[in-house]
Structure 1
Amino acid sequence: MIILGLDPSLSCTGWGVIRTQGSRLTHIANGQVPTDPKAPMSQRLAVLQAALAEVIAAHRPDRAAAEEIFANKNPQSTIKLAQARGAVLAACGAAGLPVSEHAARLVKKAVVGTGGAEKAQVQAMLKILLPGAAITGPDAADALAVAIAAAHLGIGA
């Protein structure tokens, strides 16, 4: 099964694709989709949706997994995150891709063993779970962690 992990963000959305065969995980690809902070919101969302549509077309995942929205202290940040998630989920929906959603604490627990893990701990585990994978940045690392969590949780399998 091929799983597309997603870490939606308006500034830079991370994505990661893994293959699962039983309990074995294999890295396929990962990347980040930045948007221009000076561009209009509609253009930024279109960039996210189009880029994710290309990723889906290129890697043909069986399902996707996205990090759930979390409430920021700044309501405007939460709204922007929700809009970015909408664009990302719309790309999945347009491709007929089922999407499971996972809380950040659950992702950390599935990958590291504790929901309070630091980003550095998650990235260290990625090196163990996906040896040799060249990870393009922190948002891509988070997306790979979401895909791994979905695989470990067996959701949609």
Structure 2
Amino acid sequence: MKALIQKVTEASVTVGEDVTGRIGPGLLILLGISKSDQLQDCDWLTSKIANLRIFSVDQKNFDQSALDIRAPILLVSQFTLCAITRKGRRPDFTDAADPTEARIFYSHFINLLEGYGLTVETGKFQEYMQVSSVNDGPVTIILDSNDRLLPRQN
């Protein structure tokens, strides 16, 4: 499971003419769910996102988490984060989870974030969307749940 996290001053997602989610200062998260993902990936990633200190009081130090400041989250499902680009010029999306299974993980992910007391706005799963955002910093971080299996480096 991969999450591209952007600290934003504002973000929104539109499906057709309808705005399905909108936040002010907070986090825009693009979430890619792969075939090999399990519920533990959701647990690890949501904990990491909620507690990752990427906000600052003084605009110098990252000393506050989304949990600390109750930052709202705009969560958008993004299967293209699972692209395989090793060969050729066309991305291969065969590592992306089946939509039926991915929807279960996506809903679980939302429930876990809300369980932390965070407000979660969303796009529409498996729909063509327009995502608008104003990056703050800019701060953009990629989290991969497979990293939880790696040894810590000194």
Q: TM-score range by the shorter chain?
A: 0.3 to 0.5
TM-score, with length taken from structure 1: 0.41
TM-score, with length taken from structure 2: 0.42
Could you say which structure has the larger radius of gyration? 2
**Between Structure 1 and Structure 2, which shows a larger proportion of helix residues?**
1
